[in-house]
Structure 1
């Protein structure tokens, strides 16, 4: 029997994938559940409850998005799986979109319910190549090894994986990653030294909101983010100009350095502007935002940004991190006022040279670490706060820091950086005491 005495022998399914930020109403009535957490996906509930409904040693198998292994909103799900089940198999389809109608990377996983799971191996097969095809999927399903996939047998240790993200790599890589991690002697403070960029309710007017406002408005018109012409047309007074900050996008922020010249500005209003009385000293800004009142969805509406963040992160020396990177991570040193959106994270510390950290984060050693231990979407890096904090930073003596900073100074002023980057990579290989064979693993 599949069902007997209130528990299942097997649960198989394709649960609904819905993030809370895309449809909050779906989570109504669920937020009191012990399985609820912020930034989660609805299908996590289906997995947790599915596990609860299994008999001992019974099985659950879902096809689901493959980012739950590192997603910050999935730690309760991961802990449930580690504590109460054994992972038997994962088939990760990588960059191939199984569902033509959805831009979602997926995997199939098979679990069995047991608490006798302190340490074990499981079967992991995944597609590695970017731009995967249906042939890559068929090879995976038929257990055919190729240059585009990898077959692993990772070790799961309950003690090691509880309250952690999951990352799996081959044995040689694991030994090297452990060696790199053991050199760690510096940890960024997650509250005071790392922050996500600004979350604005609306930056520019999109097509949906333009249709609400009517024909007098145009798609692309600035709401909280305005261009130089729009800024000029607002005829802002001296007090109002204090709220207008230089705004930067991926067009201006490149790997290593950024173009300080910008044509965009953000109306930087914090939570105090939820109280409409506080906008009265800024009549031209008020008049501008009042035009968009009906489509502003900020928690601090009608005049405040949704999340303005601590302003210190946008001033002075800092490292700006692009959250989603193709090919290699992108860390950018800036020393001018630079306000950015939640497309970026910002690292700011006065405990060590920011230029030294920029060099370390842009090194091949860090890319290797993130590829194996970070948060990946197929072959793309996703640099959220959790993977940033877990990077094993080593701070050497001042003489070495000064040497690296001198190289970074040259990189910031040249477009030809390859030779200088090679020099930096060699220094970090030496600092982490890597052998030639270990360096080959990273270079590959």
Structure 2
């Protein structure tokens, strides 16, 4: 179940049936079927209205007929927990109606209102689920309560999602060789906030199957991108993972999916060979050569951003750009201006008079209430030099690698990253050529982050990107001159020369 902004989204029937079929097939794969059925203990710790439990119950009924010769249902076979009483009532009713179809009545169901994150001293051999998705940003009180518990202290990570806790609790509740199948968003595979979650799964068992979708499995959750994974609590069996990524299928072992940063990279043999070559021939990470800084967070754009230049505020106004202004190698002219008010600025009476109508809104910002900034300052102004010295411009989200160069004043918001030199001798043109190359895009496709069909060029994956950076000035100047041509006037043939240079460097 997904809960967000006071609404719930339940697992579609077809998806629920497929998940149940997958985990039952694995559970009954080996051993005595009667003994396995006798001992089965299934739980959905965020069961909602029972969309995953219902196909599980029906599957059990059919198996009981096959194995026992009669339709039978035992209370201890299935448990479901949630905090939504209305949903639980619906789940019980639907399961009882299903049981009646098989002439089974008067069965007490173990479906109850309970905070499953507090469950302890109970074990299951199958856990199924579609846990609630909630970000910490708008649900701080909920996260604070969990953080105060021993469970929360063990698993909490800054900027994590609420559903991480449900995966970790499922790992705890599974007995040895127990099976877990979950439907979630796919962001946690590579998210900075998913380190503890990935470690928990890595240190306690192995994936058996992973399916990744480039669209939402829910009609009313557009923009969400899902993963269904089957995992076994067993470290002794390093069985291959069956991977299905948007219809592309392959197998990979569990010990091959974790990169050097413990992020999960799902790549077939060809992709892994590509990754190995990039790492083999690289001699730096981008983080070794450049600073990667996020743009301005104003806290209230309406107060600070102008769509026209106002001469009476000329000492404060700076050219302000949107991320869509960034193109490959170059950028458009700014259409906006921003009042750049940082800790070094003193405002004059005219500006204070202009800002006064926004006082109530500006004064409520966290950094103002904690007295880190004055009420009229930008919430996060950043260091001014990153906007004014030579830099590479990065759109935080983009369908391809469109990175630009600027040596003029270019102020932008937090959906733009600014790449500047760590030392004066670093050649930004060479780095820009690499970042705009096909090689870079392929690396990021396998190892970076996505939001739907958009790459997410965030600071961490950019910093972790390997690069070949030559010591030979001739090589640096060769690419620099080509990049300068592209900045002056983009040309596909020139880009092909740049691409071929890097293909040759990495022996691809």
Smaller-chain TM-score bracket: 0.7 to 0.9
Q: How far 1:283 moved relative to its partner?
A: 2.7
Aligned to 2:8: none
Alignment of 1:15-414 (within 5 A): 15-32=131-148, 33-116=153-236, 120-127=239-246, 149-157=247-255, 160-161=258-259, 163-189=261-287, 193-204=291-302, 223-229=303-309, 231-232=310-311, 235-236=312-313, 241-259=314-332, 261-270=333-342, 272=343, 281-296=347-362, 297-301=364-368, 302-326=375-399, 328-349=400-421, 350-396=424-470, 397-414=472-489
Q: How far 1:263 moved relative to its partner?
A: 3.1
Aligned to 1:10: 126
Give the secondary structure class of the aligned counterpart of 1:153: strand
Indicate if the aligned counterparts of 2:208 and 2:231 stay in contact, CA closer than 8 A: yes
After superposition, the CA RMSD in angstroms is 2.4
C-alpha distance in 2, partners of 1:74/1:288?
A: 44
Q: From the superposition, tell whether residues 300 and 286 of structure 1 become closer, same or farther in structure 2 (CA, over 3 Å).
A: farther
Give the secondary structure class of the aligned counterpart of 1:254: coil
Q: From the superposition, tell whether residues 34 and 404 of structure 1 become closer, same or farther in structure 2 (CA, over 3 Å).
A: same
Q: From the superposition, tell whether residues 159 and 177 of structure 1 become closer, same or farther in structure 2 (CA, over 3 Å).
A: closer
C-alpha distance in 2, partners of 1:420/1:304?
A: 45
Instruction: Report which stretch shifted further, 244-253 or 385-394.
Output: 244-253
Q: From the superposition, tell whether residues 306 and 84 of structure 1 become closer, same or farther in structure 2 (CA, over 3 Å).
A: farther
Q: How far 1:404 moved relative to its partner?
A: 0.9
Aligned to 1:140: none
Runs of 5+ consecutive residues of structure 1 not aligned to the other structure: 128-148, 205-222, 435-444
Indicate if the aligned counterparts of 2:323 and 2:412 stay in contact, CA closer than 8 A: no
Q: From the superposition, tell whether residues 288 and 50 of structure 1 become closer, same or farther in structure 2 (CA, over 3 Å).
A: farther
C-alpha distance in 2, partners of 1:101/1:370?
A: 26
C-alpha distance in 2, partners of 1:163/1:410?
A: 36
TM-score under structure 2 normalisation? 0.69
C-alpha distance in 2, partners of 1:27/1:96?
A: 26
Larger Cα-atom Rg: 2
Indicate if the aligned counterparts of 2:286 and 2:465 stay in contact, CA closer than 8 A: no
Q: Deviations over 1:307-328 (max 9, x none)?
A: 22232221211111111111x2
C-alpha distance in 1, partners of 2:377/2:157?
A: 26
TM-score under structure 1 normalisation? 0.79
Give the secondary structure class of the aligned counterpart of 1:39: coil
C-alpha distance in 2, partners of 1:404/1:380?
A: 27
Q: How far 1:75 moved relative to its partner?
A: 1.6
Q: From the superposition, tell whether residues 251 and 115 of structure 1 become closer, same or farther in structure 2 (CA, over 3 Å).
A: closer
Indicate if the aligned counterparts of 1:322 and 1:345 stay in contact, CA closer than 8 A: yes
C-alpha distance in 2, partners of 1:251/1:419?
A: 25
Indicate if the aligned counterparts of 1:319 and 1:332 stay in contact, CA closer than 8 A: yes
C-alpha distance in 1, partners of 2:255/2:187?
A: 20
Q: Deviations over 1:328-372 (max 9, x none)?
A: 212111111111111121211134211111110000000111111
| Higher normalized contact order (CA 8 Å, seq sep 6+, divided by chain length) | 1
Q: How far 1:379 moved relative to its partner?
A: 3.5
Runs of 5+ consecutive residues of structure 2 not aligned to the other structure: 1-39, 43-75, 77-120, 369-374
Q: How far 1:190 moved relative to its partner?
A: 7.5
Q: From the superposition, tell whether residues 290 and 152 of structure 1 become closer, same or farther in structure 2 (CA, over 3 Å).
A: farther
Give the secondary structure class of the aligned counterpart of 2:338: strand
Instruction: Report which stretch shifted further, 246-255 or 108-117.
Output: 108-117
C-alpha distance in 2, partners of 1:159/1:93?
A: 18
